[in-house]
Amino acid sequence: MDTAFTDKDTYQDIFDPEGYLNTYYNPKSGILVVDGFLNFALKKLHEAFATRGIKGKTLIDIGHGPTIYQDLSACESFDEIIGADYTDRNREYYERSLRNEPGTFDWTDAIQKVCDIEGKGTSVEDKKKKLKTTVKKTLKCDVLKSNPLEPLVLPKVDCVMSLGCLECACSNLDTYRNVLKNVSFLLKIGGYIILTEILNCSSYLSGGKRFSCLVLTEDFMRSAISETGFEIIDLEVIYRKYDKNQYELCNHDSSLFVLARKIKDV
C-alpha cells in the first residue's frame, strides 16, 4: 500500500509515541514483537557489543523515537550514549522512559530478555539504572543535513546507531545514500555504524495515521553502505510470515541488521 511521502514536519506535528509503541512493541500483540524483529534486534545488538567487542567512548543513537531497547546492550560498552531525534515529542518521551516515569511504556520484558542474553545475573532495575546513567542527553537531529546535529559540531564518535529510522526520513534511494553520508559525518575513521531497516515496505500505520516508508532491498543496502565508505562486518535478514491483518498495518516482508566499519570518508 503506497502513501504520499511523509515529511519531517508532519512527524513533528502528528507522530504519537504511545500509539506507535502500542502498535509495534506491545509484548503480546506488537507487530515487531510478533514477527520476531525485537528478539532478533536484541540478539544482534548483544553480539555486536559483547561478542564482537564494539566499544568506545561515545555512541550516538540516531532517530531513537520513543524506544529505549536499542541502548540496553550498548550502555555496557560505551562511556556515554547521546540520543538524537527530529521530533520534540519523541525526545521528550525517550527522556521520560529513561527516568522510568509513571505512564511510560513498560520495557520490562525486553530488559529482562537482554539481562538473560548477557547471562551476568543483572536485574531489571540495575539495567535501568545503568541505562539512565549512560545516556547523557538527546539532541535535535535532522539526517537530511550534512551535519545531522547542526548547529552543534561534536567530536567524531566511535559508533553511530540508527534502528528503523532512515527509511522513514528519505523520499527516494538517492536521498538515502546522501543520508548515509550525512550520518557518516559524525563517525571517526575506524568507527562503526549499526543499522536496522524493514525491507520492501511502502507504508506503515501508527496512531491511526499512515506514514510513508522508502522501499529498500538487501541488494540496495549492501551497495549503498559499501559506496558510503563502510566495510560490512555483519549483515543478516530475517523474513516475516504473511499475516493479512498485520500486513495492512505495515507491509514489510523482512528486516535487516547491519554492522559495518567506516574505512574512509566519501
Residue 110: helix, strand or coil by DSSP?
helix
Distance CA 212, CA 206 (A): 11
Q: Confidence band (pLDDT; 50, 70, 90) for 66? A: very high
Q: What is the pLDDT of residue 3?
A: 82
Q: What confidence score (pLDDT) does residue 1 get?
A: 53
pLDDT in tens, 168-225: 999 999 999 999 999 999 999 999 999 999 999 999 999 999 999 999 999 999 999 9
Q: Which residue has the higher pLDDT, 170 or 243?
A: 170
Choose between 25 and 244: higher pLDDT. 25
What kind of fold does domain 8-262 have according to CATH? Rossmann fold (3.40.50)
Q: DSSP E strands: which ranges in 27-113? A: 56-62, 78-85
Report in angstroms the alpha-carbon separations of 119 from 68, 110, 114, 224. Answer: 20, 14, 9, 36
Cα-flanking dihedrals φ and ψ of residue 141, to 5°? Answer: -145, 135
Cell numbers standing for residue 163 = 534502528
Q: Beta 56-62 vs 230-239: how paired, if at all?
A: unpaired
Shortest CA distance to 62 belongs to which of 210, 224, 180, 188? 180
Task: Please name which of 117, 90, 111 lies closest in space to residue 206, comparing C-alpha atoms.
Answer: 90
Is 192 a known ligand-binding residue? no
Residues 6+ apart with CB under 8 A from 240: 35, 36, 37, 252, 253, 254, 255
- What's the pTM value of the predicted model, to 2 decimals? 0.96
- Find out whether 86 is annotated in a ligand binding site: no
Cα(254)–Cα(213) distance, rounded to whole angstroms? 14
Domain range list for the chain = 8-262
What confidence category does residue 160 fall into, taking pLDDT thresholds of 50, 70 and 90? very high
> Does the annotation list 265 as a binding residue?
no
142 carries a ligand binding annotation:
yes
Closest CA to 252 of 177, 216, 201: 201
Average pLDDT score, the chain: 96
Confidence of residue 231 (pLDDT cuts 50, 70, 90): very high
Check pLDDT > 70 for residue 2. no
pLDDT score for 224 = 98
Tens of pLDDT, residues 69-121:
999 999 999 999 999 999 999 999 999 999 999 999 999 999 999 999 999 99
Average pLDDT over residues 39-52: 97
- Tell me if 219 is assigned to a ligand binding site: no
> Is 143 annotated as a binding-site member?
yes
Give the per-residue pLDDT at 245. 86
Query: How large is the average pLDDT for residues 44-53?
Result: 97
Helix H segments across 106-148?
108-118, 124-134
